[in-house]
Structure 1
Amino acid sequence: MTQTTQTSDLPAAPEAHERPVLPRRTPRIHRAWFVAAVAFVTIIGAAAFRSLPSLLIDPLHREFGWSRGTIGLAVSINLALYGLTAPFAAALMDRYGIRKVVAAALTVIAVGSGLTVWMTAAWQLMLCWGVLVGLGSGSMALAFAATVTNRWFTKRRGLVTGILTAAGASGQLVFLPLLSWIVEEHHWRPAAVTVALAALVVVPFVWLLLRDHPADAGLPPYGAEEFVPKPAPVPGAARRTLSVLFSAARTRPFWLLAGTFAICGASTSGLIQTHFVPASHDHGMPVTAAASLLAVIGVFDIFGTIASGWLTDRYDARRLLAVYYGLRGLSLLFLPMMLGPSVQPPMVFFIVFYGLDWVATVPPTIALCREHYGDDSPIVFGWVLASHQVGAGIVAFAGGVIRDESGEYDIVWFAAGALCAVAALMSLVIRKRRAASQPLVTAA
């Protein structure tokens, strides 16, 4: 007599979407490097817009009669939202995944940049260029690089951080000469459309190739000896972001890192990236030549940032920051003497030197956030990045106002150099944390 098995008492097989991804043997080339490559290309696409603001100050001033202070205010809104969005984007990546957040951010960048071709009033510039692109690019900020690095790597984090940070410079290198030529030959509107298309082109790569966590591929993080299960989505992204901020704000390292990074933003994105081209043009240099110099900064920034990541894996991040800020401030003090109608050897030296130092501060800053704040470090770094962009926004606006009132930029260069000296001293007083960091906020 055939015995029948009672299946009603047996546990039901899990649905396909509930089945855990079983660990697989690590391939010769770890999947983490492919994810880092996709992130690199994604940041390059988002960086296209970052190349445009300094090229549009004079064309918008001529066409609409807007003051440089008004245009600088739109840039300030963009830079501030770029920073303030970053910590919330990091939390949203924990909730919805990296791929969805990044794809949506690139789409918002494309919409904001594309809509500028129809603007006729300054408030439209601030809405499209400032708010929409600021929100989109903020979601693609360096907090994205920190999230990818933390999830996919346990070794070579400094190096990978340097590579992903250099992606922004690579985008500047690729797009700045092209956009400057488009602005000179075909006006500024085709340049804005080019930026929108560049952001849209990257979206399919993100959606098809980017993965949220090593567990999605059945692999441990690069450098880890054990498989790490994918954590559950963290609800309450906004609440968690603010909770991490309030907890971090009660610690001294947070304010020191935020202060130094605000000065970093003021002396790079807010000053050089926004005002170097118009300042050079004031001294008789053609716009295309000045834009090409910024592109050269992008070339050497790639080497400098990757080298900084390598150094961060080996040396004290505090001392590295002090050296970077000190040398940057010294170079800014000499910049007014180098500006002229043609490119002379001293200017070439400044461009090379400044390029090596441009965002070399990012890998050691992320390393210090990781050291002090553990698993919450991407969100903490997002808030530190917010201070970077607030500093950049203040100087972008103040630089335009000072130029309108005094007719030159010299005061801005000297003030930025002095601030960099302050940042060097602040870096040295950050204490080294010896105990392992724990998350600041425990998910409910």
Structure 2
Amino acid sequence: MHTQTDLPFSGWRVILPCFLAQNLAAGFAFGSFGPLLASTEQHFGVTRAVAATGMSLIMLAVGGLAPLLGGLLQKVSVRSAMIGAAALSAVGYWGLALLPSFGLALLMFAMIGTGVCLLAILGPLTLVSRWFISGQAKVLSIVNLPIALFVTPFIVAELLPEYGRFAVLGGIATIFLLLIPALLLIVDYPGRIGQTPRGTNMDPGGASGQGTAGDRQLSTREILASLPFWLLSLAIGVISGSGIAFLVHIVPFGMERDLSLQAASGLLSVYAGAGIFGTLLVGWITDRIGPPSTLALTTLCAGLVWWGLLYVAGLPLFALAALMGMCVVPVTTMHGAALSRLVGAASISRAMGISYAIVLPFIFGFAPLVGFLFDHADGYRLPFLVTAGLLAIASLGSVLMIFAVRKQKQPFEAVVGQA
């Protein structure tokens, strides 16, 4: 007769719901916004600048609510929270399709941002951290593959002229409702079904089934008092912000280098496509050498790309755009893997929420900073060099994080070594 622990490892069934949740939440929110922007203006009768504030509301909801929602996930069922987020996202997209007031639409964008926070960031990371100790970064790289983000702009651009705004947004809302049955497959803790996280021989989840041996919940004060936490968050902020700046400025920069609008826009496609491969590659590397070392390499590489952009034209620009995508797109995987091993599964949702709030100003501020320096320096040379310099500093900070973790003797010292 088989016991529960004789059953095959059930953590694999968590991957598919997490992959779907992450892809749909992030892919639809960020991949459909641009193609729908003109129709948003027309539907609500607002200017382009006003319509664009919808994305600001999404990002504000993600960053502003992340600390609160991260702490909440340590107290409530992750599965229930993700199901609620899927329903909330469906309401948000239906609201954008049906409501006539842009004031109410802003509330819908905030709902969508809440869904992104829970479905694309906090929920999958929390579950993967609870179920996987070994190979964690590889699992996160699979969950965070930006496939939907890559294809959504093309699909929306094809469907919108043919079927209209209502059909596109209504279809997206319906897909979120169809996601709920997949989310029902989630099991919050291995101990709930008598299993242990993959890569550990400890008793199944401890007595409560809600953690692993030696893994306790850290308070907000303890997290904020950790030097490695700050070094990690600031490094992630710099590389994330530089990625947003690349998305905003690479097309006009490419046109300055004598590319046509179509060819310069192709730099973005190359960036996104290479990011899919880069996410898998970075996940594998992270499990081999540890998250801080991987972060140090990718931030240094991204800095060299920003510097190299000033000295090439034509086809080499596409090669550098691909390299940038391989370095920057996997940032979510690196962020999650490093934090998970730094604070442990019991504290990961709270730590990620706080860390994301620290990262948010970089995401908002980097692209305007590059634009400001461009206007005052009459060209991209100074802003690109400043960005390269900040990434070099972030790379150094990632190296310092390795020694800071060793000095503090964090519970998950594997952050500096093999997974």
State the TM-score, normalized to the length of structure 1.
0.75
Q: Residues 157 and 233 (structure 1 numbering): CA distance in 2 closer, same or farther, change over 3 Å?
A: closer
Match of 2:10 among 16, 31, 34: 31
- Cα offset, 1:232, TM superposition: 4.9
User: Is 1:172 matched with 2:149?
Assistant: yes
Distance 1:96 1:378, change over 3 A: closer
The answer to whether structure 1 residue 182 and structure 2 residue 163 are counterparts is: no
Q: Does 1:192 align with 2:154?
A: no
What residue is the counterpart of 1:50 in the other structure? 30
Greater Cα offset, 328-337 or 155-164: 328-337
Q: 1:175: Cα distance to partner?
A: 1.8
Cα distance in 2 between the residues matched to 1:49 and 1:198: 13
Q: Which residue of structure 2 aligns with residue 425 of structure 1?
A: 396
Deviation, structure 1 residue 105: 0.8
Indicate the residue corresponding to 2:358 in structure 1: 387
Q: How does 1:321-332 map to 2 (within 5 A)?
A: 321-332=295-306
Two-structure CA RMSD over aligned residues (Å): 3.9
1:254 to partner: Cα distance: 2.2
> How many Å apart are 1:385 and its aligned residue?
2.2
Q: What is the match of residue 307 of structure 1?
A: 281
Which one of 165, 168, 183 corresponds to residue 206 of structure 1? 183
* Counterparts in 2 of 1:57 and 1:421: CA distance versus 1, 3 Å: farther
Q: What residue identity is the alignment partner of 1:376?
A: S
**In 2 relative to 1, CA 90–329 (structure 1 residues): closer, same or farther, beyond 3 Å?**
same
1:368 and 2:338 matched: yes
Cα gap change, 1:391 to 1:285, in 2 (>3 Å): same
**Cα distance in 2 for residues equivalent to 1:261 and 1:32:** 28
Give the equivalent residue in structure 2 for 1:161: 140
Write the letter of the residue equivalent to 1:182: L
* Pair 1:32–1:371, CA change in 2 (3 A): closer
8 A Cα contact 2:23 2:120, kept in partner: no
Out of 79, 87, 108, the residue aligned to residue 128 of structure 1 is 108
Q: In structure 2, do the counterparts of structure 1 residues 337 and 199 end up closer, same or farther at CA, with 3 Å as the change threshold? A: farther
From the superposition, tell whether residues 329 and 119 of structure 1 become closer, same or farther in structure 2 (CA, over 3 Å). farther
More deviation in 52-61 or 350-359? Answer: 52-61
Larger Rg: 1
Gaps of 5+ in 2: 211-215, 413-419
5+ unaligned residues in a row in structure 1: which ranges? 1-21, 235-239, 439-444
What SS does structure 2 have at the residue aligned with 1:96? coil
Residue 223 (structure 1) aligned to one of 199, 202, 216: 199
CA apart distance, 1:276? 6.0
- Paired residue total: 398
Does the 8 Å contact 1:76/1:394 carry over to 2? no
Task: Give me the identity figure in percent.
Answer: 21
Instruction: Please tell me whether residue 75 in structure 1 is matched to residue 55 in structure 2.
Output: yes
Q: For residue 94 of structure 1, give the secondary structure of its aligned residue in structure 2.
A: coil
- What does residue 7 of structure 1 align with? none
Asked if structure 2 preserves the Cα contact closer than 8 Å seen for 1:297 and 1:351, the reply is: yes
* Deviation readout 1:51-76 (Å, 9 max, x if unpaired): 123334455567745243x4444322
Q: TM-score, normalization: structure 2?
A: 0.79
CA distance in 1, matches of 2:46, 2:372: 15
CA distance in 2, matches of 1:201, 1:407: 50
Q: Structure 2 vs 1, CA of residues 52 and 156 (structure 1 numbering), >3 Å: closer, same or farther?
A: same
Secondary structure, counterpart of 1:140 in structure 2:
helix
Q: Which has the higher contact order (CA 8 A, sep 6+)?
A: 1
Taking the aligned partners of 1:336 and 1:65, their CA distance within structure 2 comes to 38
Contact 1:297 1:354 in 2 (8 A): yes
- Secondary structure of residue in 2 paired with 1:433: helix
Distance 1:398 1:102, change over 3 A: farther
Q: Confirm whether residue 355 of structure 1 aligns to residue 335 of structure 2.
A: no
Counterpart of 2:417 in structure 1 is: none
1:2-46 superposed Cα distances (whole Å, 9 cap, x missing partner): xxxxxxxxxxxxxxxxxxxx633042xx21112112211221221
Provide the rounded CA distance (Å) in 2 between the counterparts of 1:106 and 1:337.
46
CA-CA distance at 1:221 after TM superposition: 2.0
**CA 1:139 to 1:316, structure 2 compared with 1: closer, same or farther past 3 Å?**
closer
Task: Check conservation: 1:84, 1:138, Cα contact below 8 A.
Answer: no
Whole-angstrom distance in 2 between the partners of 1:277 and 1:210: 41
Contact 2:144 2:332 in 1 (8 A): yes
Could you tell me which residue of structure 2 aligns to residue 255 of structure 1? 230
**DSSP 3-state at the match of 2:219:** helix
Equivalent pair of 2:54/2:106 in contact (CA under 8 Å)? yes
Asked if the contact 1:94/1:233 (under 8 Å) is kept, the reply is no
The separation in 1 between residues aligned to 2:203 and 2:164, in whole angstroms, is: 54
Distance in 2 separating the partners of 1:106 and 1:408: 44
Contact 2:91 2:173 in 1 (8 A): yes
Asked if structure 2 preserves the Cα contact closer than 8 Å seen for 1:83 and 1:385, the reply is: yes
